Amino acid sequence: MAGFAAPASAEEAALPYDLTETDDMAFPGAAETPPARYIQSGDIDENILLPGARTDDDDDADRKWSRDYFAVAAGVMSTPDYNGSDDRRFLPAVYLRGRYEGFSFSTRGTNFQVDLIRHRRGQKIDWKFGPIVSLRADRTGSVKDPRVDLLPDRKMAVEMGIFTGVTKTGVITSAYDQIGFRVVALKDISGRHGSWTASPTIDYGTPLSKRAFVGISASMNIYGKGFGRYYFDVDPLGSAASGLPVYTGAGQKATIGKYTLGMAGAYALSGDLRKGFVLIGGAQYGRMGDRYADSPIVADAGSADQWLFGGGLAYQF
């Protein structure tokens, strides 16, 4: 559901349990009540191990593009109350993904992306490129820590950008494991933090059997100056209201704001990862970068160590 990186499509013709494109190995973005900030967190790596939909029909020699499919997942997440918090919430999670005529798309809460490079049947190297739109609503409502709750609320940010990357099938354990690299870059178009974020990710996944699939990922989140200033600095008015010290270090320069490591897996209840019901779950560890870890909302009121856990049920057809 919303947080890690998973491989893209495997060869469709020969593989008895084809793995279709896994655009993002994340725990599906979670829904917050009432604000939307937990529907989608831009700091959760977006890869979920949700392997492919249906078997390939080798008799269909005229089919040029990878098979169409659709998948929906729902579950629950345990996530920090805000980015940098040491309080936790349990939240519902939802995820949709599909492919039509070679074009892949996915939603994760308030995040939507489309891969404009069509996926051909049986290809070993899968290039990705397309637009992405996301809503970021961290700290738009009340938070559990009383000091951070006294800081001014943040407004919903609308971010747009692109993602690009490449995945290679058949690299280490078999002809069907996958390794991938991608970058997501987003720019605030709503005038909230007025800045940008970039997230390079590397991931690896492999089938263990016709029923099971596992994957790991590593990524970093790089933030522009305006992002750090808006979400992590504390100005004199905020300090007077909350009792937290004044801080300006996060907004002084663009820097790495967070590192993440993730692991996730899938197990087919139907006995076949390509179709039917699939159990999915995983965990992600994040560590705030130095300038962000030194922010009072992290150092005094939260924690630089950030854990996310989730699990749920997917259905593919």
At residue 94, what are phi and psi to the nearest 5 degrees? -140, 145
Contact 36, 247 (CB under 8 A): no
Band (pLDDT 50/70/90 cuts) for residue 176 is confident
Q: Is residue 63's pLDDT more than 80?
A: no
- The DSSP 8-state label assigned to residue 261 in this structure reads E
- Is 0.75 topped by the overall pTM? yes
**What are the beta bridge partners of residue 308?**
284
Nearest alpha carbon to residue 160 among 130, 197, 198, 188: 188
One-letter amino acid at 278 equals V
Q: Is residue 8's pLDDT more than 90?
A: no
**What are the beta bridge partners of residue 98?**
70, 105
Q: What is the mean pLDDT of the chain?
A: 83
pLDDT given for residue 224 in this prediction: 98
- pLDDT tens string 68-78: 888 899 999 89
Mean pLDDT, residues 45-59 taken together = 45
- pLDDT tens string 95-128: 888 999 999 998 876 789 999 999 888 888 999 9
Q: Is residue 7's pLDDT more than 80?
A: no
Contact 131, 98 (CB under 8 A): no
